[in-house]
Amino acid sequence: MKEIVLVKYGEIALKGLNKKTFEDMLTKNIKRRIKSLGKFICTSAQSTLYITPDDDNADLSEVVDRVGKIFGIAALCRACVCDKDFTDIAEKSIEYLSDILSCAGTFKVTAKRADKAFPMKSPEICMELGGILLEKFPNLTVDVKNPEVTVTVEIRDTNAYVHAENIKGAGGLPVGSSGKAMLLLSGGIDSPVAGWMMAKRGVHIAAIHYVSPPYTSDRAQLKVEQLCEKLTDYCGGIAFYCVPFTELQEAIKDNCPEEFFTIIMRRLMMEIAQRIAAKDNCLALITGESVGQVASQTMAAIACTDAVCRIPVFRPLVGMDKTEIIEIARKIDTFETSTLPYEDCCTVFTPRHPKVRPILSDVEKAQNSFDFEPLIQKAVENTEMKTFNYGG
Ligand code: ATP
Ligand code: MG
């Protein structure tokens, strides 16, 4: 029996003239993601992508697991390939679904007839197949409203397909279809979630991380690299930039009023991020900030940070509660890594009483008391880059 994976497009299905571009991008992302699992042929028709294994040993459950994390997909399932002949459909349904149907109590059959030339109409297929399955599996009764198992028959161009599972896809748009942006990635809970949320909207992510040795350890950096690696499951390849930030932080500490340490540090982070973003064709920055979460995330503080930004700053968590953010972090499996103990450069030289409502002119005056430019340039020059690709 031949088995394939059917992938149903999400929002792409609604696209107009440029639909093909999105489709091609999705297909490319899927191919890259499953390449290490064997040989597959990917074809598309009627807003569905067919992944057909070209060797018998392909691990389709791993394919489903990986493809289920790829953005641009509404739903996916493993399905059995049948001839476009009702007898074959019935025989294969019994064999292919025997495990699931012999354990279930209730079921129903649905049919989709994309090929209108097929001699039986959908209700007829449902009735006939339903009757055959009821006879074969005496444990079953029909429940059309709330069945434990829905058997789906799809009559398409070249073949018919039977399946009984419909797995929800990751939604969103194919990564890369919305251009690239630079994620300010700390080792905390929020920024990996922010990156995942923008990737969901088709944004290709690059990541930037600031380290301040010896105040921050190698272990802290490794933890962020681990988060990057986890994100590749969803985001694909990520260029990771690591910025040496110690001298800038020490210069802030030695030259600026304590109450402005954090806000000036954040402005310098944004400045450096923009310069590296420009080199890597990133059109925006992304942070994990959420209004009111900490002193540097009040509206007044965000305004002072944004004043140095010449490109858009996306803050997808801006209106979310910490509990909602944690829920996503658990779902995408970054939570445990994020909660490992570590030091972030943000926790170095934190002011005892940070200004909660900083005034921009005061911040600018405080920052202008020292010429940070040579140190900014040095940090950009000494930034190191690594690439993370799809794991597995
Ligand atoms: P997170 O959980 O993402 O660390 P947070 O709630 O701890 O966020 P802050 O530490 O104030 O908040 O950081 C706000 C945002 O600034 C982070 O979400 C992240 O985008 C960025 N950021 C903070 N520290 C770093 C760092 N060391 N390197 C890169 N970006 C950082
Ligand atoms: Mg943090």
- Say which amino acid occupies 31: K
With 0.85 as the threshold, say if the pTM is over it: yes
Q: Where does CATH 3.40.50.620 sit in the chain?
A: 180-388
The domain 180-388 is placed in CATH, from the list 3.40.50.620, 3.30.70.2190, 3.40.710.10, 3.60.21.10, at: 3.40.50.620
Average pLDDT, the chain: 95
Within 174-245, residue ranges assigned H as helices are: 190-200, 218-235
- Using the predicted structure, report yes or no on whether residue 122 has a pLDDT greater than 90: yes
- Quick one: which ligand is closest to 273's CA? 1
For the cut 70, the answer to whether the pLDDT of residue 150 exceeds it is yes
Q: Is the CB of 210 under 6 A from ligand 1?
A: yes
Mean pLDDT for the stretch of residues 356-379: 96
Burial classification of residue 226, based on how many CB atoms lie within 10 Å of its CB (0-12 exposed, 13-18 middle, 19 or more buried): middle
* Residue 293 in contact with ligand 1 by CB distance below 6 A: yes
Give the model's pLDDT for residue 356: 86
Nearest Cα residue to 80 out of 98, 97, 66, 63? 97
**CATH number belonging to domain 3-171:** 3.30.2130.30
Alpha-carbon span 71 to 65, nearest angstrom: 13
Return the minimum-mean-pLDDT range out of 5-19, 185-199, 363-377.
Answer: 5-19
Q: How far apart are CA 254 and CA 258, in angstroms?
A: 9
For residues 300-313, average pLDDT: 97
Domain with CATH 3.30.2130.30 in the chain: 3-171
Please compute the mean of the pLDDT values over residues 286-306 and round it to a whole number.
90
Q: Kindly state the tokens that stand for 245.
A: 């930030």
From the CB of 292, is ligand 1 less than 6 Å away? no
Quick check: CB of 191 below 6 Å from ligand 1?
yes
Give the model's confidence band at 351: pLDDT under 50 very low, under 70 low, under 90 confident, else very high: confident
Q: Is the CB of 233 under 6 A from ligand 1?
A: no
Question: Does the pLDDT of residue 392 top 70, yes or no?
Answer: no
* pLDDT of amino acid 354: 83
pLDDT at 292: 83
Between the alpha carbon of residue 6 and those of residues 42, 53, 85, 90, 233, the distances in Å are 10, 12, 20, 20, 20
Structural contact between residues 221 and 243, judged by C-beta atoms closer than 8 angstroms: no
Q: Which ligand is nearest to the CA of 383?
A: 1
**Cβ 288 vs Cβ 186: under 8 Å:** yes
| Closest ligand to Cα 185 | 1
What is the position in ligand 1's atom list of the atom closest to the CA of 243?
A: 28
Cα of 189 from ligand 2 centre, angstroms:
7
d(CA 7, CA 337): 31
Characterize the bridge pairing of strands 204-211 and 180-184.
parallel
**Section 78-83 average pLDDT:** 97
Residue 391 has a pLDDT of: 67
Task: Determine which residue's CA is closest to atom 8 belonging to ligand 1.
Answer: 190
Only one residue has tokens 């829920």, namely 327
Has residue 295 got a pLDDT over 80?
no
Cα-Cα-Cα-Cα torsion 133, 134, 139, 144, nearest 10 degrees, comes to: 100
Ligand 1 atom 28 nearest Cα: 209
DSSP string, 227-264: HHHHHHHHH--EEEEEEE-HHHHHHHHHHS-GGGHHHH
CA atoms within 13 A of residue 72's CA, in its CB half-sphere? 31
- Is residue 268 pLDDT above 80, yes or no? yes
Query: Does residue 350's CB lie within 6 angstroms of at least one atom of ligand 1?
Result: no
Q: Write the residue with the smallest CA distance to atom 31 of ligand 1.
A: 186
**Beta-carbon-side half-sphere exposure of residue 152 (alpha carbons within 13 Å):** 15
User: Is the pLDDT score of 282 beyond 90?
Assistant: yes
Residue type, 6: L
> What are 154-208's pLDDT values in tens digits?
999 899 999 998 899 999 999 999 999 999 999 999 999 999 999 999 999 999 9
What letter does residue 288 receive in the DSSP assignment?
-
Q: How far is the CA of 29 from the centre of ligand 2 (A)?
A: 31
Instruction: Please report which confidence band the pLDDT of residue 125 belongs to, taking 50, 70 and 90 as the band edges.
Output: very high
